[in-house]
Amino acid sequence: MKKVSIQVTGLVQGVGFRYMTKLTADQIGVYGIVRNESDGSVYIEANGEPEKIDQFIEKIRNSPSPSGRVDSITIEELTSIPNRDKFTISN
């Protein structure tokens, strides 16, 4: 099990980014949360099999939303992230 936190900046709010992130996670089989942050970024926590997490990160890096644009992505592997059994959109 791999657990990561991901901070994404760019054109990631108001473009369906969270919704498309959830669809991507559901298709790959990754669980966690995605939420908008007050600074205009998007925060993601994800847990799953290492190869699925790597695939998920690659999709996020290239923006799951066709209207979005990822300028930077910060990934941190954290064992303290809670295990989740579904992927949800927060706020």
pLDDT tens digits for range 25-73: 999 999 999 999 999 999 999 999 999 999 999 999 999 999 999 999 9
| pLDDT at 91 (0 to 100) | 81
Cα gap 44→60, rounded to integer Å? 10
In tens, the pLDDT along 1-20 reads 999 999 999 999 999 999 99
Altogether, the residues listed in the chain come to a count of: 91
User: Considering the domain 2-90, what is its CATH architecture?
Assistant: 2-Layer Sandwich (3.30)
Question: What is the pTM (predicted TM-score) of this model?
Answer: 0.96
- Residues with catalytic annotation? 18, 36
Strands 31-36 and 87-90: parallel
